[in-house]
Amino acid sequence: MGKRLMSQRRGKGSPTFKARQKGQKSAYCKPEKEVIKGEVVDFSKEIGRNGLLVEVMTPTGEYHVVAAEGMFIGQEIQLGANAEIGIGNVLPLSSIPEGCPIFNIELKPGDGGKLARATGSYALLSTRSIKTAMIKLPSGKIKKMQVDCRATIGNAACGGRTDKPFVKAGAKFHFMKAKSRHWPITRGVAMNAVSHPFGGEQHHAGKSKSVSRHAPPGRKVGAIASKRTGRKKRK
């Protein structure tokens, strides 16, 4: 008799596969017409997040946001279109000079920051027009944005985090557990036929790995809704 596959259990949504703690919501404060000045009062580390959050106290209240490399407690932070170009200051893309490194970029004006938030990452403001700005993301992709979207000057803190090796399996296990991920995961082709759709025979899938986007849990393994498979032809 077989058993439920991991994808079936995960699809059910049991507490085994859910994050047990909710972290702080990191976002910019609401945009104001005038320049808002705040002070860095504390840094915080939360479970499931690799980078640091910084707590900024402003006259309108406090907010938590991804920390920039070089920030320190007691530093003055400015937010607004007329703010100075300095590490940790938040400005709309319309006020940032071209070629400036930025991170924690808003996708839509006022959403609090969505892009380039990973540790050590930053994007570059390539060009700008009256209504749009072209951003070169850490992946190398060029994205068109509205100039009203805000971003932080500098790069996200804790860069070089991945340079340190885990050394032992226990460290990797607890790292993955904090993110509510199961680790290690056995390859499907190494399993028996009753345990996985790719299991059995001579340790290869034996069938196409492409699977429908609407496949049920348990069958939804491999290349999900793949547009193409196989090697690319040389031009």
**Residue spans of beta strands (DSSP E) within 104-166:** 123-128, 132-136, 142-146, 150-153
Least confident interval from 22-26, 102-106, 113-117, 156-160: 22-26
Q: pLDDT at position 140, please?
A: 93
Asked whether residue 26 carries a pLDDT value surpassing 90, the answer given is: no
The residue-averaged pLDDT of 26-51 equals 85
* H or E element, residue 36: strand 36-44
Residue-wise pLDDT for 166-222, tens only, equals: 999 999 999 888 877 788 989 999 998 888 889 888 888 888 899 999 998 888 899
Residue-wise pLDDT for 55-78, tens only, equals: 999 988 888 899 999 999 999 999
Q: pLDDT at position 23, please?
A: 67
State the Cα–Cα distance between residues 51 and 160, nearest whole angstrom.
11
Q: What is the CATH number of domain 36-157?
A: 2.30.30.30
**Residue spans of beta strands (DSSP E) within 45-122:** 53-58, 61-66, 76-79, 90-92, 101-103
Q: Do domains 6-16+180-224 and 36-157 have the same CATH topology?
A: no
Pick the CATH number of 6-16+180-224 from 3.40.50.300, 3.40.50.620, 4.10.950.10, 3.30.360.10: 4.10.950.10
State the Cα–Cα distance between residues 126 and 146, nearest whole angstrom.
13
Domain residue extents for the chain:
6-16+180-224, 36-157
pTM: 0.77
Asked whether residue 22 carries a pLDDT value surpassing 80, the answer given is: no
Asked whether residue 54 carries a pLDDT value surpassing 90, the answer given is: yes
Between β-strands 61-66 and 76-79, what pairing exists: parallel, antiparallel or unpaired?
A: unpaired
Asked whether residue 43 carries a pLDDT value surpassing 70, the answer given is: yes
State the Cα–Cα distance between residues 80 and 57, nearest whole angstrom.
15
